[in-house]
Amino acid sequence: MKNPTTIYDVAREAGVSIATVSRVLNSPHLVNSQTRNKVLTAIDKLGYATAAQTSAKFYSSARRIGVLIPFFTEPSFTQRLRGIAGVLNQHDYEMVIFPVDSKGREQSYLQTLPLRRSVDGLIIVSQVLDDTIAQRLVDHHLEAVLIEFNDSRFSTLEINDVAGGTIATRYLIEKGYKNIAFIGGKAIPTFGVDPITKRLAGYKQALEEANIQIQPELISEFTPQPGEFFRQLIKIRKPLAIFAATDLQAIAILRETSLLGLRIPEDVALIGFDDIDMAAYFGLTTVCQPLDESGRIAASLLVSRLSDPSQTLQHIELPLTIIERETV
């Protein structure tokens, strides 16, 4: 019988120290990507993951679900976590949050979690899986559910962001507005999914369908300071309608209208996107995506697959609806 692969074998194959292999498995974000990839290649080649999993039998009964999520303090992600936690609590699973704040951290988690076996399953929120990482999850039998990204190898939940942008803009058009601005996110994303660009595409599509000329000066795809862009807009057009690609951007605009003494919706009509909890407080008309429900569904799908891996994978497109309040 062949002796099992050891950490010494992996270190020798990768040309690194045993301590480095240990860091890759336990604190991957502390290891540079080149070294991490060398170690992971050696692990895959030698089959060390199987040995690591055998030595981690403790975790198989730990009942832990990992949630890989960016910026988890932002309202939309907090609501998803709320939905996930509600289901996991009912099934006695502990929720372990892996916060993603950079491409490097995203990659380090996704590359090593299947090998560490510290969780029974994963819910991956707003992350883009490349083929190598996705296949590693499959090969090491780590069940996962994806939110906001589609991959046929996993159960997935998505919304149609292009359609959402079209719905929001069409709503403003039907209210009689011609001068419709678009204000996007705070910054160009360096990792994860990019819903803002898709919502902008939907905005343009709705204008074209209505034979309304697209005015580049009314568009800011990524706006670190939405208030500053808004003040420039008011100098160009009034009355004005604005589609803000997130509720947080819309709320920032509401503050500016108050400071400038503008009336809502007489001078400025405004629609947001997400329907975070604060939207109702501000009376914000918005495109509602079911944030809490997406978390509940994702957790339910994962728990079901863990109890019965033969269950069919699900690919769900969640509905979008307009919530009418006082800003249009």
- Read off the CATH number of the domain in which 70 is found: 3.40.50.2300
Sign of the Cα pseudo-torsion (178, 76, 65, 42, in order): positive
Dihedral of the alpha carbons of 95, 144, 161, 280, in degrees to the nearest 10: -20
Is residue 323 domain-resident? no
Q: How many CB atoms lie within 10 A of CB 297?
A: 21
Is residue 144 domain-resident? yes
Stretch 194-200: mean pLDDT:
95
11: containing domain: 1-55
pLDDT score at 53: 56
Q: How many CB atoms lie within 10 A of CB 80?
A: 29
High-pLDDT (> 90) share of the chain, %: 57
Claim to verify: residue 198 and residue 283 sit in the same structural domain: yes
Query: In this predicted model, what pLDDT tens digit does every residue of 42-89 receive, in sequence order?
Result: 887 787 765 555 555 444 556 899 999 987 678 899 999 999 999 999
pLDDT score at 273: 97
For residues 51 and 17, the model is more confident at: 17
Is the model's pLDDT at 162 over the cut of 60? yes
- Name which of 15-24, 74-83, 243-252 the model is least confident about: 15-24
The top-scoring range by mean pLDDT among 16-30, 34-48, 65-79 is: 65-79
Question: Which residue is it, tokens 């429900």?
Answer: 293
Claim to verify: residue 192 and residue 258 sit in the same structural domain: yes
pLDDT score at 179: 92
Claim to verify: residue 185 and residue 264 sit in the same structural domain: yes
Query: In this predicted model, what pLDDT tens digit does every residue of 293-313 receive, in sequence order?
Result: 999 999 999 999 999 989 999
pLDDT band at 5 (very low <50, low <70, confident <90, very high): confident
Task: Quote the distance between the C-alpha of residue 38 and its chain's center.
Answer: 28
Question: Is residue 20 within 8 Å of 11, Cβ to Cβ?
Answer: yes
Claim to verify: residue 182 and residue 149 sit in the same structural domain: no
Is the model's pLDDT at 239 over the cut of 50? yes
Omega prior to 216 cis, within 30 of 0? no
Is residue 85 domain-resident? yes
Claim to verify: residue 141 and residue 32 sit in the same structural domain: no
Maximum distance among all Cα pairs of the chain, rounded to whole angstroms: 81
| Beta-ladder partners of 185 | 222
How many domains does the chain fold into?
Answer: 3
